């Protein structure tokens, strides 16, 4: 319910008969909510939401630059290399970069970075987004969150399709 409220705020006003929200606009709203309902061991003054690989969000992420998470401004960063992922609070790994997950995991170590992907064959991500019957759903790997020192709100976990240890 909380996520739906935030989604409505992010998406802006829409006619009741308007077209469905585009996939990547919806994914951007989910990323924002994941950030908003995650507890980091220590938050810097500026939160980095990073995208590794081609950015298919088409400006939907840029809308987040005007928002805050836990009172901190958000900066969107497009990365060209896994080596640039250090210092990101949330790292979205695109399908093209999913093959680099072992490298990403090695480079990040136990850094407090929430790694999210929309590629189903990417077991190294803490959160995996997926389309199921036309709906955006997500799975959460609690062990990966713990290794990174992150805690995701029970509200978010209750909305997950699945959680695993």
To the question of pTM greater than 0.75 for the whole model, the response is: yes
Q: Give the start-to-end residue ranges of the domains of the chain.
A: 2-164
Q: What is the pLDDT of residues 88-143, one digit of tens each?
A: 999 999 999 999 999 999 999 999 999 999 988 767 799 999 999 999 999 999 99
Q: In whole angstroms, what separates CA 143 from the centre of its chain?
A: 17
Q: Give the residue carrying structure tokens 């401004």.
A: 73
Instruction: Determine whether domain 2-164 maps to CATH 3.40.50.2300.
Output: yes
Q: Which residue has the higher pLDDT, 46 or 16?
A: 46
Please report the pLDDT score of residue 19 as a whole number.
64
Please report the pLDDT score of residue 13 as a whole number.
45
Please report the pLDDT score of residue 21 as a whole number.
78
Q: Give the residue carrying structure tokens 């029970």.
A: 154
Enumerate long-range contacts of 122-130, CB under 8 Å, 24 or more apart. Answer: 122/93, 122/98, 125/93, 125/101, 126/150, 127/34, 127/152, 129/27, 129/30, 130/161
Please report the pLDDT score of residue 124 as a whole number.
79
How far, in Å, CA of 116 to CA of 118, rounded?
Answer: 7
Please report the pLDDT score of residue 9 as a whole number.
41
* 74 exposure class (CB count in 10 Å sphere: 0-12, 13-18, 19+): buried
Find all residues with CB under 8 Å of 122, minimum gap 6, and list them. 93, 98, 101, 128
Q: Is the pLDDT of residue 17 over 90?
A: no
Q: What is the pLDDT of residues 24-71, one digit of tens each?
A: 999 999 999 999 999 999 999 999 999 999 999 999 999 999 999 999
Where does the pLDDT of residue 10 fall: very low under 50, low under 70, confident under 90, or very high at 90 and above? very low
Where does the pLDDT of residue 18 fall: very low under 50, low under 70, confident under 90, or very high at 90 and above? low
């Amino acid at each position: 319910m909380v996520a739906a409220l935030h989604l409505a705020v992010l998406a802006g006003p829409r006619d009741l008969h308007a077209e469905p929200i585009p996939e990547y606009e919806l994914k951007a709203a989910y990323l924002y909510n994941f950030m908003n309902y995650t507890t980091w061991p220590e938050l810097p003054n500026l939160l980095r939401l990073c995208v590794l690989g081609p950015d298919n969000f088409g400006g939907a992420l840029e809308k987040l630059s005007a928002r805050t998470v836990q009172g901190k401004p958000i900066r969107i960063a497009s990365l060209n290399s896994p080596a640039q992922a250090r210092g990101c609070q949330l790292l979205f790994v695109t399908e093209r970069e999913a093959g680099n997950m072992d490298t990403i995991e090695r480079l990040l170590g136990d850094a407090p970075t929430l790694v999210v992907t929309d590629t189903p064959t990417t077991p190294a991500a803490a959160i995996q987004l997926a389309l199921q019957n036309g709906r955006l759903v997500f799975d959460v790997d609690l062990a990966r969150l713990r290794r990174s020192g992150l805690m995701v709100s029970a509200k978010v976990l209750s909305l997950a399709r699945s959680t695993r240890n």
